[in-house]
Amino acid sequence: MKTLSQISPYQCTIRKAVHSRGVGLHSGNRINMTLLPAGANTGIRFIRKDLGAHNLVPAFMNRVVDTTMATTISEGNASIATTEHLLAAINGLSIDNIIIELDGPEVPIMDGSSAPFVDLLLDAGIRQQKSYRRLVKITREISFRDGDRHISINPYDGFKITAEINFKHDTIKRQVYSIAVSPRKFVTEISRARTFGFLEDVKKLQENGLALGASLDNAVGMDQNGVLNKEGLRYDNEFVRHKIVDIIGDMTLLGCPVLGHIVAYKSGHNQHLKLMETIAATPDAWEFVELKKDGQLSVLNKFVSKTREAGNRLLPILSPVVHKRPV
């Protein structure tokens, strides 16, 4: 189990700017991406360079505008789709502050996993900052149910995810995986798991102008007979491992790390968003804490406005500073 003593008390950013280029899953266009260091308490910020230098989109749950097939966030006329795999890499490596510049409306899909983003971030290097890390500590169970799909988070001295999926397809069937998330375990056990899709569904999406960049180079393709990729699967249970990638990525939109054990059954991007909104709307079930150098937690004051929508309730206490010089 990853205990508080194993979690760095200090916030982190990257050491230098790094660049990458890849295909957008839905548009099929080539998209340039630059990752930049950011100051303490900045959080995660996307910038649409093709729309001008000031088109900034904060990575917060109340900026989510679509959870169909992927998680899309928006601010004004700037939107960013397919955020979850990059956010999972940032979260999985315990990076708190970063600026992401894009010249298109999507994060490149790369190979359909978080691994290329992990490599990019490790190439940039990770630098510890002077400010203490702030976290949301779950103190009692919080849950959300949507038909036969459900997701909950329980008190836990670290960050753990248990996910279960259940498909009628013979190659997938029922799969369960549990992991106490740490940077090392994220890289070795989770990051390489790719997104997957069924051939008949992809064809329908492409007929409607979506998934134009989808290919066997960036997803595990399936038909009624099994896996279409010549290289096969990276893990026997790659499907449920990728589900955990999505959960880690989506939960990044809470605005800070969370201490708790997430248990998810057949969940998708919408259920992940609803869990975060339920957390924000249940202030008596969590504490906003700061992790000190000695591994002890310091409970911070919570300023929760009952009149605000759930997606805004964490913002007064998270409220990152934008474009602060890295420290």
Point out the residues that are catalytic.
269
By CB atoms closer than 10 A (0-12, 13-18, 19+), residue 33 is: buried
The identity of residue 150, as a single letter, is H
Backbone angles phi, psi at 34, to 5 degrees: -125, 130
Q: Are 11 and 41 contacting, i.e. CB atoms less than 8 angstroms apart?
A: yes
Beta pairing class for 30-37 and 196-198: unpaired
Beta pairing class for 159-166 and 258-265: parallel
118 CB-near residues (< 8 Å, 6+ apart): 89, 92, 93, 186, 187, 191
Q: Are 110 and 245 contacting, i.e. CB atoms less than 8 angstroms apart?
A: no
The identity of residue 91, as a single letter, is N
Q: How far apart are CA 258 and CA 302, in angstroms?
A: 15
* One-character DSSP codes across 246-268: HHHHHHGGGSS-EEEEEEEES--
Backbone angles phi, psi at 259, to 5 degrees: -100, 110
Q: How far apart are CA 285 and CA 296, in angstroms?
A: 20
Q: Are 43 and 58 contacting, i.e. CB atoms less than 8 angstroms apart?
A: yes
CA distance between the termini of the chain: 31
Q: Which structure tokens are listed for 286? A: 């969590």
